[in-house]
Structure formats: structure tokens, C-alpha cells
């Protein structure tokens, strides 16, 4: 299994992501954003979290024009598996590879804490190691994690099973930390080969750090 | 020529910053404010001298980068 991890100026979760996937036995490579190609043997391409280009203008807005992004589009168009975590999710929405947009958190605060998430749908290549209805404990750390999509778009997401994760409490009841539409924490594209989520599963790899629920989630990303 | 671009969240998209400012104004007893929207202004100093061409260029800049049209509207003023 080969995981390629994108690095923009301002990315700061690339090494956590590398640690997490290597812990699961994957081979990893960090790809600088000036690269115009994705390694041919890539099984999973990760757009890591952080603050690409300092979040100037909007989170992810400038990163979408980095040279590597054309290669990302090409890789995704061919059915390649792309995962965006936090700022990576924002980059993928800005690049229109995922529907919707991320707004400033409703409470206007940066939120950094452990939060529970419920698996809404596991009929996809990402969450197949988890069951629909499973609740996992995965940290969030964002200022612009308030997912927005209009009513029509939301209906489409629901009809296609594109909503993969929602923010909940430990019992699976909706608990929305940032005002996101329908408490959405992660969505995939229609073809289900691109997945973006605001929480950081790569930071939940050791029970010592509060949770190792990220292990099962990341194992799913490597599964097929 | 200068282009003044104003970017605001679309009507119907909750503007949390606007809401917070509105709330703060109410706390200061400014009770005659109905609604507040907070946006951003981007001022571009252009080398282009043709107004039509400038408008077309800046519109393209807004569509591609300066605004996220999923959630934001923009206005352009040339001065």
C-alpha cells in the first residue's frame, strides 16, 4: 500500500499523517505542492491538514491553484482514491472536487477538542471497516469547519449516501460543534472516490493521546 | 484604474460575524440596527485602461479566486 501525502506551504499535519499510515504498515511519500505528478504507485492520495498559504483569502482558496492540483484532479478523474483532512477538505471543496463549502465556525472560535462522530454510511471504499451507526472519538481542530451546502445540494447528498460522518455525542445523538448544515463532519463525491472530513483521525492513533479510534478509520482508507 | 471588489456571504447563508456585531451593537444600546453583514473589500490597482476589459478581467478573478460562489456574492466597482 502506498500513501502519497500533499504538502503545501503552511501544511502542518503531513508528518502526523505519515506516522499514522506507516503505523498501519503503509509506505508513504510526502509530495511538495510544486510537483506536477502523483507517484504512479499511489493507492491513496491524502491532502493533509494545516493552514495552506496561511489561510489567506479563504481556507484552501489559494492551494487549489498549486501546480500539483491538476495532477490531483487527473488522479481523481481516473478513479484514484483521494482523502482530504481538515484543511485538505477545505482545499477539495475550493477545487470543486467535493460539493459545498466550509464557513467560519458559528461561534467564531477556533475549536480544538475531542469530539464524537457517527458513521452515517459505510457503503463506500473509505469507511468499510466501520459499521453504519458506529460512534468514534476523533479530535477536531478548526476555525472554518462549518460545512455549508444549499437545501437542494443537501437533498442530493442524502439521496446519494454522500454524507459519511456527522458530529454527535458519545451516544450517537446529534451534537453540532460549529453550526455545520445537518451536523455534517465529512462528505464524499458522487462517485465515492473522494472523501473530505474536518476531524483528524491521524491524531487518534494512540490511546495515550485520548483515543485510538483513528486506527480503524484509517485501516478502512487502506482497505481496498 | 482601481477595482473595488466587495465580497459578502450570500443572502440566506448565516453570517456569524454579522450576527455577533449586531449583538454587540445592541449591547451598546444601538437598537435601531435591523441587520448586519460583515464582508471583505479587496482593492485592485489595475494597469488595464479599458473599462469593459477591466470589468471582464475582474469578474473572472472573482469567479476563480476572490469569491467562493458557493457561499459568497461579489460586487465590482471601477474607479
Domains and CATH numbers, chain B: 2-78 (3.30.1280.10)
Per-residue pLDDT at A224 exceeds 70:
no
The predicted pLDDT at position A223 comes to: 82
Chain A residues in contact with B20 by the CB 8 A cut-off are 108
> Over the stretch A176-219, which tens digit does the pLDDT of each residue have?
999 999 999 999 999 999 999 999 999 999 999 999 999 999 99
pLDDT at residue number A159: 97
Q: Which of residues 37-66 of B touch A (CB under 8 A)?
A: 65-66
| A92-116 per-position pLDDT tens digit | 999 999 999 999 999 999 999 999 9
Does residue A116 have an active-site annotation?
no
Give percent of chain A above pLDDT 90.
98
ipTM of the complex: 0.90
What's chain A's average pLDDT?
97
**Which residue in B73, B79, B78 sits closest to B13, CA to CA?**
B73
| Structural domain of A114 | 2-222
Give the mean model confidence (pLDDT) for residues A124-153.
Answer: 96
Q: For residue range B50-75, list pLDDT tens digits in order.
A: 999 999 999 999 999 999 999 999 99
Chain A touched by B24 (CB under 8 Å)? no
Does the pLDDT of residue A78 top 80, yes or no? yes
Our count of domains for chain A comes to 1
Contact: B17, A108; criterion CB under 8 Å = yes
CB-based contact B70 A105, cutoff 8 Å: no
Is the pLDDT score of A23 beyond 80?
Answer: yes
Q: Are the CB atoms for A7 and A46 separated by under 8 Å?
A: no
Please tell me the predicted confidence (pLDDT) of residue A105.
97
Q: Give the CATH number of the domain where residue A188 resides.
A: 3.40.50.880
Q: Contact B66/A62, CB-based, under 8 Å?
A: no
Q: End-to-end CA distance of chain A, in Å?
A: 10
Amino acid at each position: 500500500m502506498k500513501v502519497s501525502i500533499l504538502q503545501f506551504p503552511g501544511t502542518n499535519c503531513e508528518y502526523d499523517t505519515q506516522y499514522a499510515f506507516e503505523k498501519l504498515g503503509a509506505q508513504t511519500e510526502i509530495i511538495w505542492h510544486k510537483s506536477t505528478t502523483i507517484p504512479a504507485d499511489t493507492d491513496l492520495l491524502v491532502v493533509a491538514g494545516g493552514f495552506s498559504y496561511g489561510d489567506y483569502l479563504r481556507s484552501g482558496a489559494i492551494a487549489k491553484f498549486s501546480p500539483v492540483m491538476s495532477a490531483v484532479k487527473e488522479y481523481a478523474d481516473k478513479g484514484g482514491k483521494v482523502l482530504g483532512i481538515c484543511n485538505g477538505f477545505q482545499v477539495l471543496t475550493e477545487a470543486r472536487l467535493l460539493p459545498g463549502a466550509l464557513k467560519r465556525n458559528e461561534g467564531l472560535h477556533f475549536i480544538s477538542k475531542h469530539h464524537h462522530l457517527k458513521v452515517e454510511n459505510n457503503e463506500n471504499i473509505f469507511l468499510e471497516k466501520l459499521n453504519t451507526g458506529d460512534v468514534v472519538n476523533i479530535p477536531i481542530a478548526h476555525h472554518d469547519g462549518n460545512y455549508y451546502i444549499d437545501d437542494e445540494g443537501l437533498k442530493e447528498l442524502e439521496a446519494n449516501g454522500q454524507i459519511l460522518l456527522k458530529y454527535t455525542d458519545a451516544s450517537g445523538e446529534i451534537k453540532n460543534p460549529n453550526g455545520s448544515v445537518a451536523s455534517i463532519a465529512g462528505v464524499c463525491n458522487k462517485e465515492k472516490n473522494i472523501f473530505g472530513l474536518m476531524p483528524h483521525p491521524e491524531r487518534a492513533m494512540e490511546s495515550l493521546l485520548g483515543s485510538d479510534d483513528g486506527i480503524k478509520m484509517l485501516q478502512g482508507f487502506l482497505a481496498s | 484604474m482601481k477595482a473595488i471588489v466587495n465580497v459578502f456571504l450570500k443572502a440566506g447563508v448565516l453570517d456569524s460575524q454579522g450576527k455577533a456585531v449586531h449583538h454587540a451593537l445592541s449591547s451598546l444600546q444601538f437598537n435601531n440596527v435591523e441587520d448586519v453583514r460583515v464582508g471583505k473589500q479587496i482593492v485592485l490597482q489595475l494597469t488595464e485602461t479599458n473599462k469593459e476589459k477591466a470589468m471582464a478581467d475582474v469578474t473572472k478573478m472573482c469567479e476563480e479566486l476572490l469569491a467562493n460562489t458557493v457561499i459568497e456574492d461579489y460586487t465590482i466597482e471601477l474607479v
